[in-house]
Amino acid sequence: MAEIAIILLNMASYVLVLVLVALGLVVVFGMMRVINMAHGELFMLGAYTVVWLQAAGAPFWLAVAAAPVVVGAVGLVIEAALIRHIYRRPLDTILATWGLSIALKQAVVLIWGPASHSVAAPMAAAIGVGDVTYPVYRLLLMAVAVAIIAAVFWIFLRTDFGLVARAVIARPDTAAALGIDTRRIYRASFVIGTALAGLAGALVAPLISVDPQMGLGYLIPAFISIMVGGAGPLAGVLVGGGLVGGTNNLATVWLSPVVAQIVVFLLAIVIIRLRPQGLLGGRDGA
């Protein structure tokens, strides 16, 4: 019983982080058709922001709060310098952001070196219920992740900004004709997407090794989650992230992590092939 509880808790925390990463990706992809291959590196920058600020003596939670701001600012620069020139060439965004990802990775190597850093968890305590003990930080991480995911859904589904943003997704030209500044909406969405990546990176920094290659390990699963769930509706990320992350984590109970990942990727590719619009996508998804 205790083992099952821990397996489920680990699964939930992995799924929530994956959903957080994928959510940032889908805001950018679903909205602007921009495939951001540098999303994993923005995630990495979030983690390095914590490394950097903690070394400067800042408390952990302040560093976590600063990460989305720092990475969002980087996102603003990227949008202004790179992305806005290629909005009309979606396939070129893959290549250009790939170049960006190489450059960001190497910039981090130049500043912090290629070796991995570790971030001290803000609390080492473990909480016990019956014979199950679990680190408090992981529980907090889950709570924060759920709150952020809910906030993003609230922004896009309940606020005026969200309404305008969804109008721009559905009919960019009509929205522009109605006087909506689509460029400003694109820019805001891109910054939201990058800030989410930064926040996700900062939150998981204490749990994983922080190194320049860490982004890739989340980028491919995040993309696959989006494609499995469907890039159209925002809720597709929950389904995709839940399925990909959950299956992957659950499979490691019986299989080695590498084999588990291979199996999950293969299953996901079959689903993507059979339903290119994603499980939740109604209309044309690709």
Partner 1 sequence: MAPRWLAGVVFMALAAFPLLAADYWTGQLTRYLIFGLFAMSLSLVWGRAGILCFGQAMFFGIGGYVMAACTMGLVGGALTSSYLGLAAAVLAAAGFAALLGYFLFLGRGLSGAYLAIVTLAIAYILEQTLKSAYTLGADNGLSGVPPIDLGLFGASVELWQETPRYYLVLAIVAAVYAALDRLLASPFGVVLTAMHGDPRRLAFFGYHVLSLRLIVFVIGAAVAGLAGALFVAVDEFASPTLIGFGLSTEVLIWVALGGKEMLLAAFLGAIAVRLMESTFAELLGDFWILALGLVFMVSVVLLPRGLIATPLGRLTSGRHRDGT
Residues that bind partner 1 (CB under 8 A): 35, 82, 85-86, 89-92, 94-96, 98-107, 109-110, 216, 220, 223-224, 227, 256, 258-259, 261-262, 265-266, 268-269, 272-273, 276, 286
Q: How far is the CB of 132 from partner 1 (least distance, A)?
A: 33
d(CA 113, CA 107): 9
Shorter beta-carbon distance to partner 1: residue 91 or 124: 91
Q: How far is the CB of 179 from partner 1 (least distance, A)?
A: 28
Q: How far is the CB of 91 from partner 1 (least distance, A)?
A: 6
Q: How far is the CB of 129 from partner 1 (least distance, A)?
A: 37
Shorter beta-carbon distance to partner 1: residue 139 or 220: 220
Shorter beta-carbon distance to partner 1: residue 85 or 184: 85
Shorter beta-carbon distance to partner 1: residue 120 or 262: 262
Q: How far is the CB of 86 from partner 1 (least distance, A)?
A: 6
Cβ within 8 Å of residue 116, ≥6 positions away: 209, 210, 211
Shorter beta-carbon distance to partner 1: residue 63 or 244: 244
